[in-house]
């Protein structure tokens, strides 16, 4: 059997996990974007080739969404197809949950990638956090994890690839070619092909990828990926919201948790109003969002919309809530973050009791920065 990533994953699927006292898993964050999926898979694969381990001892990568949600992420499907990895080769959130439920004595040790705090819904199924590599704000948890690397980078995969590249023997390095396209996919997506948000680790790995993949045309590779990512035409509002979604429990000043959902969307609000529902109306779009708010039992929902146009990159932000239920909470949060995010009203026809939208002129702030700002604003309420 070759050493491909696909074969590695297939060999994991054949392991009888229930015979073990403990297992190790690698998890990306709950948005399961390309960076998270590539991080979980590449970390497990790279450790496997470094340790030359038997599949029975290898780390199992978990994609932290239900399997049925993967199909919405066409950029990820494309990246997996490029390595001949099929959906059946992967482990998903439901696999972890059913394993832990039927094998409650088995200790689950997790390596967290692309996040550094276990999301609430996964916490019951993880016993220990034994490693962290991430590029989000440090929650200062699991201080004994090893490695525990949390650094600003464009892509989390840059930190992971660099970490293992430095550990792996030079004689084994040719095998890195097998996983490099997956890490590179996340890197070009998160840095707009090494043009934005590039940090030290991204700059260090880029020439290594070029050496490993001399035939690859980075521009084409990036464009195909980008097209796949923005291909959301035909999806319903709900599918678009859940495609890249994170949920947070942020404590207010009294210590009560407010539940905030933040959906990141690859089109602007005007596009969403006319393309996500048959009547092509803003009203119906808002109604769908309100349904999501109710289904998810949120205090409020935020949509971070951007057009992904490198020439005129813009961001918009919308808040969906029910004033009858939550009073002035959203007004207070908006007042607190308005200056930092440089918010300007998006249009006049807002229904102020349930929907408010803005241009976010601070275009540098993505969810990675916005979520901690919202957390801070809520802590003052």
Binding residue (CB under 5 A) for Mn ion from 5, 130, 156, 304: 156
Contact criterion met (CB below 8 Å) for 228 and 74 = yes
From the CB of 80, what's the least distance to Mn ion, in Å?
A: 17
Query: Which SS3 state, helix, strand or coil, does residue 127 take?
Result: coil
From the CB of 15, what's the least distance to Mn ion, in Å?
A: 28
From the CB of 156, what's the least distance to Mn ion, in Å?
A: 4
**Cβ closer to Mn ion: 32 or 333?**
32
Interface region with Mn ion, contact rule CB under 5 A, candidates 75-83, 112-120, 256-264, 303-311: 112-120
Phi and psi at residue 11, to the nearest 5°: -70, -30
The residue count for the chain: 381
Binding residue (CB under 5 A) for Mn ion from 114, 117, 202, 244: 114
From the CB of 35, what's the least distance to Mn ion, in Å?
A: 4
* Dihedral sign for Cα atoms in the order 290, 292, 298, 300: negative
From the CB of 136, what's the least distance to Mn ion, in Å?
A: 7
Residue nearest Mn ion, Cβ-based: 35
Query: In angstroms, rounded to a whole number, what is the distance separating the alpha carbons of residues 135 and 352?
Result: 35
From the CB of 144, what's the least distance to Mn ion, in Å?
A: 23
**Cβ closer to Mn ion: 40 or 337?**
40
Based on its alpha-carbon atoms, the radius of gyration of the chain, rounded to whole angstroms, reads 21
From the CB of 255, what's the least distance to Mn ion, in Å?
A: 30
Interface region with Mn ion, contact rule CB under 5 A, candidates 139-147, 155-163, 320-328, 333-341: 155-163
Site string for Mn ion, 54-93 (x = CB under 5 A): ----------------------------------------
Please list, in sequence order, all residues whose beta carbon lies within 8 angstroms of the beta carbon of residue 269, skipping any fewer than 6 positions away.
303, 305, 316, 318, 346, 357
**Cβ closer to Mn ion: 30 or 114?**
114
Query: In angstroms, rounded to a whole number, what is the distance separating the alpha carbons of residues 381 and 369?
Result: 20
**Cβ closer to Mn ion: 344 or 364?**
364
**Cβ closer to Mn ion: 35 or 336?**
35
Site string for Mn ion, 27-56 (x = CB under 5 A): --------x---------------------
| Count of residues near Mn ion by CB under 5 A | 3
Token pair of 339 as six digits: 């200056």
Contact criterion met (CB below 8 Å) for 149 and 133 = yes
Phi and psi at residue 176, to the nearest 5°: -60, -25
238, HSE (Cβ side, Cα atoms, 13 Å) = 10
Query: In angstroms, rounded to a whole number, what is the distance separating the alpha carbons of residues 107 and 91?
Result: 17
**Cβ closer to Mn ion: 97 or 137?**
137
**Cβ closer to Mn ion: 187 or 374?**
187
Q: Give the helix ranges, DSSP H, for the chain.
A: 5-13, 34-51, 74-82, 93-102, 156-167, 176-190, 200-212, 218-230, 237-243, 269-275, 282-295, 323-326, 329-341, 367-379
Interface region with Mn ion, contact rule CB under 5 A, candidates 53-61, 154-162, 166-174, 305-313: 154-162
From the CB of 36, what's the least distance to Mn ion, in Å?
A: 6
Per DSSP, 256 falls in state P
**Cβ closer to Mn ion: 24 or 246?**
246
**Cβ closer to Mn ion: 265 or 293?**
265
Asked if the bond preceding 257 is cis, omega within 30° of 0, the reply is no
Q: Which residue has the tokens 């948005």?
A: 31
- How big, in percent rounded to 5, are the helix, strand and coil portions of the chain? 50, 20, 35
Smallest CA-to-CA distance from 369 within 325, 317, 332, 319 is with 317
From the CB of 113, what's the least distance to Mn ion, in Å?
A: 9
From the CB of 192, what's the least distance to Mn ion, in Å?
A: 14
| 117 contacts Mn ion (rule: CB under 5 A) | no
Token pair of 330 as six digits: 């959203």
Give contact residues for Mn ion (rule: CB under 5 A): 35, 114, 156
């Amino acid at each position: 059997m070759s050493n491909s990533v696909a074969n590695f994953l297939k060999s994991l699927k054949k392991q009888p996990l229930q015979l073990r006292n403990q297992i190790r898993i690698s998890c990306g964050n709950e948005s399961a974007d390309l960076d998270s999926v590539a991080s979980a898979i590449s970390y497990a694969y790279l450790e496997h080739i470094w340790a030359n381990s038997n599949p029975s001892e290898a780390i199992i990568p978990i994609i932290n969404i239900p399997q049925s949600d993967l199909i919405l992420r066409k950029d990820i499907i494309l990246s997996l197809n490029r390595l001949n990895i099929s959906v059946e080769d992967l482990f998903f959130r439901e696999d972890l949950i059913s394993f832990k439920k039927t094998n409650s004595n088995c200790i689950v040790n997790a390596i967290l990638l692309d996040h550094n705090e276990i999301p609430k819904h996964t916490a019951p199924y993880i016993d220990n956090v034994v490693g962290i590599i991430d590029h989000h704000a440090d929650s200062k948890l699991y201080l004994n994890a090893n490695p525990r690397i949390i650094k600003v980078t464009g892509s989390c995969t840059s930190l992971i690839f660099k970490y293992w590249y430095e550990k792996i023997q030079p004689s084994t390095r040719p095998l890195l070619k097998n996983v490099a396209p997956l890490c590179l996919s996340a890197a070009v997506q998160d840095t707009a092909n090494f043009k934005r948000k590039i940090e030290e680790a991204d700059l260090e790995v880029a020439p290594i990828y070029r050496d490993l993949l001399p035939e690859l045309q980075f521009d084409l590779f990036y464009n195909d990926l980008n097209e796949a990512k923005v291909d959301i035409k035909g999806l319903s509002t709900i599918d678009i919201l859940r495609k890249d979604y994170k949920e947070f429990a942020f404590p207010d000043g009294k210590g009560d948790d407010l539940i905030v959902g933040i959906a990141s969307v690859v089109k602007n609000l005007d596009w969403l109003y006319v393309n996500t529902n048959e009547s092509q109306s803003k009203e119906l779009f808002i109604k769908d969002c309100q349904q999501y708010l109710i289904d998810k039992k949120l205090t409020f929902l935020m949509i971070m919309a951007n057009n992904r146009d490198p020439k005129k990159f813009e961001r918009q932000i919308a808040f969906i809530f029910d004033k009858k239920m939550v009073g002035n909470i959203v007004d207070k949060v908006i007042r607190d973050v308005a200056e930092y995010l440089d918010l300007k009203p998006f249009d006049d026809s807002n229904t102020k009791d349930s929907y408010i939208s803005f241009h976010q002129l601070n275009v540098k702030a993505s969810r990675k920065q916005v979520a901690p700002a919202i957390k801070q604003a809520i802590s003052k309420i």
